[in-house]
Amino acid sequence: MKGFALYLALFFLVMGAALGAQEALPAETVPGEAAPAEAVPSEAEPAEAVPSEAAAPDLALSEPVPADAPAEPDIILSAGILVDGLQFDIEMPWGQPKFEEIRESYMTSGGKRWLKTVMERSLPYIDYIEAKIEEYGLPKELVYLPVIESEFSPLAVSRSGATGLWQFMRNSIAGYDMTISDWKDDRRDFMKSTDGALRKLEDNYDALGDWLLAIVAYNAGMGAVQRAMKSAGSDPKDFWHLWDSGKLSRESTVYVPKFLAVASILRYPELHGLPMEWGERHSWEALETKRQVDLTVLAERAGISLDLLKQGNAELKYHITPPSEIHLVKVPAYKAEEVRSVLEDTSTPLFKYDIYKVKSGDTLSAVAQRYATPLSMIIDANPGLKPDKIRIGQTIIVPKLSGKPAAAAKTPAGAASAAPGGTYVVKKGDTLGDIAFRLKVKAASLASANGIGIDSILRIGQKLKVPGS
């Protein structure tokens, strides 16, 4: 129809010019010079210069397009939303079936509700993550990887033991400035784990040359991806060829379209019917301290919400910084100066503890059990203390983790016993300290008699030799 309309316009234009020429005034009555004769269409002109009615259908079916005319853009719809022109640092696979299926699921009312809940949980951490991504020059979409890794919970633990916002395994933190001890687990430190995760993703990209392969390697492991690529004969830069080959586990291959679906929505939340902002974001400042700090005490002294401090310092297992080492305490930026003053005031301690005086018959493991404090923590809190050589009247600092006063030690009713020189069979819930206390022997002696460490993990059914009195 567009071609036919053009045809009619040309037809009436030419015919109008012809009629005007026939009725024109003599040349001398027209202002200016007379028009050249060839400018007036005549019946002698070639027939093709004046379109005929018979040609109209052909013009309508095949309208000529100027060579320099811009091509009309393809219209791209995804989950019923026009996504033409959206900018991403990582290309979105519009039309890929699994990607579109997952996008559809997130666009349901339940899916949107879940995304909103997760992004509200991100508020303490997302500013820091975005700043680090910009600092490293990485794709903006990576800020949404914790959505599918941990739902933005630093306390998340997977079935395989992966922990924290970025779900690091114990054996995957080497080289990324993270450690695990009785006092802390840096996989739950939102600053250290973010730095580590982004460096790991960057390392993956440097090795594989493609962001989708770098992301799947973050989930499956570099070795697994490289083996799968070799088996599939894959172009090193083609994740979707690897997808089609089926050489990776289903969980790992679905990981990438799941991440892309989430990122495609959250980069443009309003377009997808979600809020532009999720709430008030938090900015943090990390303050160095050589003192042992209990977050409960710090919150009271500095007038900060304890829950907020716990969110910022989730790596602390007992909400107390480790002894005898420098630690960075994360505090709200607007409270940084006030907290700095509290940390510099050495007149009062910043953690709760009891001073225990050793009595006759005491063992350090029995004291630990009495206070429900791990034996290793008491050792750490008392530099130079020898667990198997405490003496009557000696004072010991005992960190108070439960906030409750120490209870009198009790021997469980019906607890199994073993004579000196006999054996003891480990039961569910047993620890070396518990066993030593019940058998009235020193934990260090019990460990030595069985060739194990004082903090060794025991297995149910294990037989322990009981040292002689």
Q: For residues 288 and 326, what is the distance between their CA atoms, to the nearest angstrom?
A: 7
If asked whether residues 300 and 448 sit together in one domain, one would say: no
Domains contained in the chain, number: 5
Domain stops at, among 238, 272, 306: 272
Is 74 contained in some domain?
no
Domain stops at, among 12, 28, 61: 61
Query: What's 452's domain CATH number?
Result: 3.10.350.10
Q: What is the pLDDT of residues 340-378, one digit of tens each?
A: 999 999 887 888 888 899 988 888 988 988 888 888 888
Predicted pLDDT at 162: 96
If asked whether residues 289 and 197 sit together in one domain, one would say: no
If asked whether residues 158 and 218 sit together in one domain, one would say: yes
Is 264 contained in some domain?
yes
If asked whether residues 164 and 250 sit together in one domain, one would say: yes
Q: For residues 120 and 280, what is the distance between their CA atoms, to the nearest angstrom?
A: 9
Q: What is the pLDDT of residues 347-356, one digit of tens each?
A: 878 888 888 9
If asked whether residues 171 and 99 sit together in one domain, one would say: yes
Is 416 contained in some domain?
no
Enumerate residue ranges in the chain where pLDDT < 70: 1-74, 234-236, 402-420, 429, 454-457, 469
Predicted pLDDT at 32: 38
If asked whether residues 331 and 438 sit together in one domain, one would say: no
Is 192 contained in some domain?
yes
Query: What's 167's domain CATH number?
Result: 1.10.530.10
Residue 413: alpha-carbon gap to chain centroid: 47
Is 32 contained in some domain?
yes
Domain coverage including residue 460: 423-465
If asked whether residues 137 and 240 sit together in one domain, one would say: yes
If asked whether residues 327 and 393 sit together in one domain, one would say: no
- Cβ distance 305 to 299 under 8 Å? yes
Predicted pLDDT at 461: 82
CA distance readout (Å), 418 to 17, 288, 329, 423, 463:
121, 49, 47, 6, 11
CA distance readout (Å), 354 to 267, 280, 368:
51, 39, 12
If asked whether residues 35 and 170 sit together in one domain, one would say: no
Residue whose structure tokens are 């009557």? 392
- Three-state secondary-structure class, residue 163: strand
- Cβ distance 304 to 339 under 8 Å? yes
Predicted pLDDT at 234: 61
Is 407 contained in some domain?
no
If asked whether residues 142 and 169 sit together in one domain, one would say: yes
Predicted pLDDT at 456: 66
Is 191 contained in some domain?
yes
Q: What is the DSSP letter of 31?
A: S
Q: For residues 6 and 63, what is the distance between their CA atoms, to the nearest angstrom?
A: 9
If asked whether residues 96 and 51 sit together in one domain, one would say: no
Is 103 contained in some domain?
yes
If asked whether residues 376 and 310 sit together in one domain, one would say: no
